[in-house]
């Protein structure tokens, strides 16, 4: 709805007046004629006019408000436009700053790219120059390598020729060395000399104040000797094996110059050499045993020097028997027994049987360690040594057990070891207080006509052994002989008369160790044992000295030990002495004494060892 304002009303009136003035008379008359009609409509018109005035008033107010709002809108629009303008200017400024920065960055990049391009060109030139230089160097090096290869090939040819020459010289040297050793052994046999081997034990815990540990394999071997381990790098070893035949002793005293002494023996074993190596040099003697020679192997040395370990091997602490678990650690006694039975197994069946006896010399008394009481329990019985009509020494009533294999022998020896006297000292926790003598007696049955020849080649002897062996004494555990209950035919009796028995013996001796009372710290009964041990070892040294000097009288009767070993030491047995030495300085006096004993033993010349070629008649006729 459109409202008419006051000014418009005035304009309407003026327009009306002009209209009336301009109208013709006729029309004005018509208007006046109709005036009555118009007068009737005037109130309505007035009302409408009033209404129009009110509406115009309201319209004016609304126009005022509209104008006010329009002014506000214009101001708001201006403000918005200003804000848009400011925002646009700000965006322009921002865009201009970003563009400026980008432009600067681009300029810098262009500059860097230019410098990089120039650097790349220089680098390329330098690389090409260096590549040419290196290529020249590589070609030069290749030529030099080719020359060196040619020279190396020449050197290799020369080295190969030298190696072949060295190998030939080494082979000739080894052959000459073997020949020299064989000649030396032959000379020793012809002279009847005593073979002396020397074994230097590893260092033990009591060799140092601090309990260090050594390498695993050596610590195991040392613990099996009855003790723990020590560190050899922390303890100066004054005794060492410089060759397989020479021992070097470094003698030094405070305030005096060091003096080095050397001792020569048939074989010298260092601390690192195993039981296998030691026995390999002993085994040839066992072949002589079955060839009719008596053999004696004796371990000599101070207490704690490894004699029992060398002879028996590792021992169990609970009963002092030797362990059979690790065969590589077994000593000479079990290995020698196994070797003897192996050699017997290669001979004709029934031509050999083996007996064993175990005795100890304790406080200058001989004890039979295989003797049994009425209940069959083994206990040590005192025995004595007597001289037979033939001039040989014998132990009457000594128990001889027949064994058929190495296991039975080792079982009997372990029984005897449980009775062996032992006592702990400051030097050795399981010190042996007696001399142990294990004897294997091998009885050989052979034809009298063919005795002295190679028995394994004699088929006739083998046949006779099989036919008539049943007529010989049956071997029993109590060592009692019973005659065969069968009636023998004349042919069998005649064959039996032609068979003879030859007995050879293998004595395996583990001597008690010499002791210094001040170091061992023994008192009471142990001190008395030490006195008897030292006196018996001194008597053994006196016997060897008398034989070496070829005196008319040899003092065998000064000790039961020397009487028991008389036939081996001064008789017709092949004797091997195994010296056991400690390398530590505080045992230097005892070690020098042992080395001196071995030197005197080597000087003994007993004449050529005799073979048992005079068989005794068999008792089974």
CA angle 591, 596, 599 (to 5 degrees): 130
Asked if residue 399 lies in contact with residue 372, where contact means CB atoms within 8 angstroms, the answer is: yes
Q: Can you list the alpha helix ranges (DSSP code H) found in 197-257?
A: 216-223
Place of tokens 């000649």: 183
C-beta of residue 310 within 8 angstroms of C-beta of residue 582: no
- 605: burial class by Cβ within 10 Å (0-12, 13-18, 19+)? middle
Using an 8 Å Cβ cutoff, are 568 and 462 in contact? no
Tell me how far apart the alpha carbons of residues 610 and 573 are, in angstroms, rounded to a whole number: 8
Two tokens, residue 181: 């050793």
Q: Is 306 annotated as a binding residue?
A: yes
Helix 6-22 and helix 35-191, axial crossing angle in degrees, nearest 10: 140
The count of other CB atoms within 10 Å of the CB of residue 133 is: 10
Beta strands 239-241 and 294-301: pairing type?
A: unpaired
Q: Indicate if the alpha-carbon torsion angle 369, 370, 371, 373 is positive or negative.
A: positive
Answer yes or no: is 313 a known binding residue: no
Instruction: Indicate the SS3 state at residue 201.
Output: coil
Place of tokens 């008597």: 539
What does DSSP assign to residue 456? G
Is 170 annotated as a binding-site member?
A: no
498 annotated ligand-binding residue: no
DSSP code string of 11-35: HHHHHHHHHHHHS-HHHHHHHHHTH
Any known ligand binding at 388? no
Q: Does 301 count as an annotated binding residue?
A: yes
State the sign of the Cα–Cα–Cα–Cα dihedral 201, 206, 208, 212. positive
The closest alpha carbon to 196, from 508, 580, 561, belongs to 580
**Kind of pairing between the strands at 195-200 and 499-510:** unpaired
Assess contact for 515 and 531: CB atoms under 8 A: no
Type and span of the H or E element at 446: strand 435-447
- Give the start-end residues of each E strand in 535-601: 573-581
106-116 residues labelled b (16+ CB within 10 A) or e (exposed): eeeeeeeeeee
Q: In the structure encoding, which two tokens stand for residue 539, read together?
A: 């008597």
**Annotated binding residue 302:** yes
Is residue 304 part of an annotated ligand binding site? yes
Binding residues for ATP: 301-308
Binding residues: 301-308
């Amino acid at each position: 709805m459109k409202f008419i304002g006051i000014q418009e009303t005035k304009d309407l009136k003026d327009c009306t007046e002009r209209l009336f003035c301009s109208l013709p008379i006729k029309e004005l008359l018509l208007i006046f004629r109709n005036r009555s009609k118009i007068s009737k409509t005037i109130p309505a018109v007035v009302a409408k006019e009033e209404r129009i005035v009110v509406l115009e008033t309201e319209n004016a107010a609304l126009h005022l408000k509209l104008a006010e709002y329009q002014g506000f809108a214009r101001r708001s629009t201006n403000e918005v436009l200003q804000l848009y303008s400011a925002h646009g200017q700000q965006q322009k400024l921002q865009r201009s700053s970003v563009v400026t920065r980008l432009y600067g960055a681009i300029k810098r990049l262009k500059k860097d790219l230019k410098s990089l391009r120039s650097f790349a060109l220089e680098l390329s030139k330098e690389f090409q120059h260096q590549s040419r230089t290196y290529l020249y160097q590589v070609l030069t090096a290749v030529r030099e390598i080719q020359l060196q290869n040619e020279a190396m090939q020449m050197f290799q040819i020369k080295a190969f020729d030298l190696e072949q020459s060295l190998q030939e010289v080494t082979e000739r040297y080894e052959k000459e060395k073997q020949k020299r050793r064989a000649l030396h052994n032959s000379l020793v046999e012809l002279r009847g000399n005593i073979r002396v081997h020397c074994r230097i034990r590893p260092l033990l815990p009591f060799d140092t104040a601090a309990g260090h540990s050594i390498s695993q394999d050596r610590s195991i071997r040392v613990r099996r000797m009855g003790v723990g381990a020590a560190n050899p790098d922390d303890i100066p070893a004054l005794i060492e094996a410089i060759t397989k035949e020479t021992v070097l002793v470094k003698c030094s005293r405070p305030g005096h110059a060091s003096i080095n002494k050397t001792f020569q023996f048939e074989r010298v074993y260092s601390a690192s050499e195993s039981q296998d190596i030691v026995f390999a040099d002993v085994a040839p003697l066992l072949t002589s045993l079955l060839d009719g020679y008596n053999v004696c192997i004796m371990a000599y040395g101070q207490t704690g020097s490894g004699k029992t370990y060398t002879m028996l091997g590792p021992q169990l602490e609970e009963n002092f028997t030797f362990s059979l678990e690790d065969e590589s650690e077994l000593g000479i006694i079990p290995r020698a027994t196994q070797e003897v039975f192996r050699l017997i197994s290669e001979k004709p069946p029934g031509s050999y049987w083996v007996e064993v006896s175990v005795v100890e010399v304790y406080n200058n008394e001989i004890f039979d360690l295989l003797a049994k009481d009425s209940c069959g329990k083994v206990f040590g019985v005192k025995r004595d040594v007597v001289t037979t009509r033939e001039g040989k020494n014998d132990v009457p009533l000594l128990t001889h057990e027949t064994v058929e294999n190495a296991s039975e022998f080792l079982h009997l020896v372990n029984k005897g070891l449980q009775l062996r006297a032992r006592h702990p000292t400051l030097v050795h926790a399981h010190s042996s207080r007696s001399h142990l003598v294990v004897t294997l007696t091998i009885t050989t049955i052979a034809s009298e006509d063919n005795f002295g020849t190679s028995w394994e080649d004699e088929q006739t002897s083998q046949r006779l052994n099989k036919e008539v062996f049943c007529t010989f004494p049956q071997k029993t555990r109590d060592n009692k002989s019973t005659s065969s209950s069968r009636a023998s035919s004349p042919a069998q009796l005649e064959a039996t008369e032609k068979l003879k028995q030859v007995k050879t013996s293998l004595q395996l001796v583990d001597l008690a160790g010499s002791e210094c009372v001040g170091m061992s710290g023994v008192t009471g009964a142990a001190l008395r044992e030490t006195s008897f041990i030292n006196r018996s070892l001194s008597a053994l040294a006196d016997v060897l000295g008398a034989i070496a000097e070829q005196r008319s009288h040899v003092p065998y009767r000064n000790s039961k030990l020397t009487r028991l070993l008389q036939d081996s030491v001064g008789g017709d047995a092949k004797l091997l002495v195994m010296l056991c030495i400690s390398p530590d300085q505080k045992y230097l006096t005892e070690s020098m004494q042992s080395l001196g004993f071995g030197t005197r033993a080597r000087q003994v010349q007993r004449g050529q060892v005799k073979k048992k070629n005079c068989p005794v008649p068999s008792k089974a006729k």
